[in-house]
Structure 1
Amino acid sequence: MIVNDWSDREIAGLRAATPGCSQVVHFNHAGASLPSQATLEAMARQLQREADIGQMEAGIEGARLEEEARQAAADLLHANPQNIAFASSGSAAWGQAFAALGPWRAGERILVGRHEWAGNLACMAEAVKAGARLEVIPCDETGAVSVSSLEQMIDTHVRLIALTWLPANGGLINPAEAIGQVARRHGIAYFIDAGQALGQLPCDVQSLGCDVLKGAARKFLRGPRGTALLYVREGFLEQLAPRCLDVLSAPWDGQGFTLRNDARRFETSERSLVLIAGLANALKEANQLGIARIRGRIQELATKIRDDLRQIPGIELQDLGLPGQQSGLIAFTLEGWDAFALKQRLAESNINIGANGTAYTPLDMQARELPAVARIAVSYLNTDQEIGVLLQALAQLAREPGQTSTSTSRP
């Protein structure tokens, strides 16, 4: 159920507790959101402890904060703490889990949505070199992954179904739960890239039916850059053998080195407890606010922006998915303007948006013949006043001669 019961007072308080809100008009939350002052202070305290008493000695308090973060992540995903590992990025988490599946053989099949993140595809390319086949699941009439088409593609050679739940290049929300039902029914491994979903949509791994789910925490969760979550289903864990091991992931038991029996077999003993301290606070803030409430506010603001963008001459929305059921990522193009040049021009006025080139979601961008899109990504922190500033700036640029860029694949 979508809940939207935010008061102006609550939003004002959250913005006052977020330093960046007074500095920029930020609509790039899908790239990285603005951390709260409390998250910054949590990191500063751990950093100061390390300076005061020594980094290893400060690890005692750091370890406590790490377990708080693990419990908060488990609460967010409706999982158990032992199913949660932390990583430096979503790509690193996905790559580690994929590599842990072991060698691929000729004829084995990987089924992916057309919207798959390029970093995941890069990992799969290694399996293709070994003879595996990477196949794209057709889309339905809304542009989403077609569950009925997926069902027809299943045979005994399918080893993995991989889904980017919310693509980085627009507002589509893929039917992750329905795809999970297909995967479970046929006993096929199912990986979800939830990078844009974490902190924006409720994520219940039990309902999703996934074996692996990952996502960076810097986006809608408002965590520090360099942190990510990796969920591994308990019954699936024993099938995964990580490539890189150390004294944490495979400790010495007196006889030899034995893999841990929890998701921390994907972690190493050397990690930033400063970043983990910030992650713990960001996760607790998201859980306290309630993800269903966050979803309601984001959807309301995103719907308003989409409606208003349609009134600006030269702007064309490039979103997929059912209207009214899309995410807070709004993809568009402005006639005569390169997406990256547009992003840079708005940044000169302290307005942050994103831009995505073909290199990030190549299968979908090529299928739709889109070299690049500009992207507005909404948070519960955004206000009607900020929306007005953004729309006024875009309307002004729509009246100016366009600008081009030399690249369509930059971050």
Structure 2
Amino acid sequence: MNRAEVERLRAATPGCASVIHFNHAGASLPSQATLDAILEQLQREALGGPMEAADQTIQARARTAAAKLLNSVPEAIAFASSGSAAWGMAFNALGPWQAGDRILIGRHEWGGNLACIAQAVGAGAQLEVIPCDEAGAVSVTALQQMIDPKVKLIALTWLPANSGLINPAEAIGAVAREHGIAYFIDAGQALGQLPCDVQALNCDVLKGAGRKFLRGPRGTALLYIRPGFMQRLKPTQLDVLSAPWDGDGFALRGDARRFETSEVSVALLAGLANALEECNGLGLAQIRQRIDSLSRDLRERLMTIPGLTLHNLGPADHQSGLIAFTLKGWDSVELKQRLAQGGVNIGANGVAYTPLDMQARGLESIARIALSYLNTEEEIEVLLGSLRELAGVGGD
């Protein structure tokens, strides 16, 4: 992705003119075309009636674009209000849980997923953490040694929220498939940042939010269900869309929309459809290359700031666009707020987001830079200058 292409994309993104945004892992900046798609649908609803303006082609566009992104089929895609809601619906549909059922997770599992799993543990299931390898990633070798007939689920957060780690999702999927074990991937930070091929990943369920690197609107999320796995999942909440009346009773749909309800924001799906199509048009290979180039350079330069400590995991040559750090003398939330006063957005995470990993590493909080292909070298210079100033250091 050359500079001219980056400038074109930035010019089509209103937020780039008003803020320096390094919080794409929290929520990214939408394009004007995405905003227009949402507003135009709302206008149609206001003028012609919300129900009457519910154009089914919008949902079809979004589903087709999501399927292309994941190398799947539209029938395998459901939409939800958040990634956590999507994961929770799929997890709860995998039950009922029995005493002795084993659930294997990585140490980096998202806190919201752990909250859902806690209910299964309350029913007698056993939650076990797969050991990490020397780089801090989930160890595939250790996982293989933990497999037995009682393992009912392997759950992986692919890209943790509190580090630049990229877990070996494909290798873990090969283990799960070999043993016929259900495999759930939380791809919240991966979608829109890395190529994501569900066929290669061998996952049964995958979820991700629309608002992050996909640059879609808040209140949207994707849920992929492998077609051959669909019948194993029995949703706990149904309505006339997910289980329509067939003349004799209410029958579950045979596609992923068994996890949807009849009430949906068509306007938000219009925005998501546009964001997905933009992402597909750019291609994940060049998106990944751009983010990787920016983040490698930034990590190296951050290490030169006295008092700044990086808290990333994984090999230095294979990390995501998330950079976790702390700055001596600064609380992470206060640091985020101080930078925001100067027009620079970053993120800050506490223990609740990734409790097992944060506790294992003795971290109470981290500040987080999350890069997008929209970011520029000039913005990075401003960020570094601000951090040096807050660290009490002069310029280069």
Counterpart check, 1:173 vs 2:166 = yes
Counterpart check, 1:126 vs 2:128 = no
Counterpart check, 1:82 vs 2:75 = yes
Following superposition, the deviation at residue 10 of structure 1 comes to 1.0
User: 1:207 aligns to what?
Assistant: 200
Q: Given the alignment, which residue of 26, 29, 35 partners 2:30?
A: 35
Q: Given the alignment, which residue of 282, 289, 302 partners 1:296?
A: 289
CA distance in 2, matches of 1:303, 1:162: 28
Counterpart check, 1:345 vs 2:338 = yes
What SS does the aligned partner of 2:119 have?
helix
User: 1:91 aligns to what?
Assistant: 84
1:96-111 equivalences under 5 Å are 96-111=89-104
TM-score by length of 1: 0.95
Counterpart check, 1:16 vs 2:7 = no
Following superposition, the deviation at residue 288 of structure 1 comes to 0.1
Following superposition, the deviation at residue 324 of structure 1 comes to 1.6
The AA in structure 2 aligned to 1:65 is: I
The superposition leaves residues 294-319 of structure 1 with CA deviations (integer Å, 9 ceiling, x where unpaired) of: 00000000001101101111111100
Following superposition, the deviation at residue 253 of structure 1 comes to 0.7
Following superposition, the deviation at residue 328 of structure 1 comes to 0.1
CA distance in 1, matches of 2:14, 2:184: 36
Counterpart check, 1:259 vs 2:252 = yes
The AA in structure 2 aligned to 1:122 is: A
The AA in structure 2 aligned to 1:305 is: L
CA distance in 1, matches of 2:258, 2:92: 13
Following superposition, the deviation at residue 135 of structure 1 comes to 0.3
CA distance in 1, matches of 2:59, 2:307: 49
User: 2:61 aligns to what?
Assistant: 68
User: 1:47 aligns to what?
Assistant: 42
The superposition leaves residues 336-392 of structure 1 with CA deviations (integer Å, 9 ceiling, x where unpaired) of: 111111001000101000011101100000000000110000000000000000000
Q: Given the alignment, which residue of 221, 224, 232 partners 1:228?
A: 221
Counterpart check, 1:357 vs 2:353 = no
CA distance in 2, matches of 1:112, 1:10: 40
User: 2:178 aligns to what?
Assistant: 185
Q: Which runs of 5+ in 1 are unaligned?
A: 1-5, 401-411
CA distance in 1, matches of 2:84, 2:3: 37
| Structure 1 consecutive aligned stretches of length 4 or more whose deviation exceeds 4 Å | none
What SS does the aligned partner of 1:68 have?
helix
What SS does the aligned partner of 2:297 have?
helix
User: 1:371 aligns to what?
Assistant: 364
Following superposition, the deviation at residue 9 of structure 1 comes to 1.3
How many residue pairs end up in the alignment?
Answer: 393
The superposition leaves residues 221-250 of structure 1 with CA deviations (integer Å, 9 ceiling, x where unpaired) of: 000000000000001000000011011000
The AA in structure 2 aligned to 1:313 is: P
Following superposition, the deviation at residue 7 of structure 1 comes to 1.7
CA distance in 2, matches of 1:239, 1:160: 12
Cα RMSD for the two superposed structures: 0.6
TM-score by length of 2: 0.99
CA distance in 2, matches of 1:96, 1:105: 18
Following superposition, the deviation at residue 8 of structure 1 comes to 1.4
CA distance in 1, matches of 2:92, 2:131: 26
CA distance in 1, matches of 2:371, 2:229: 35
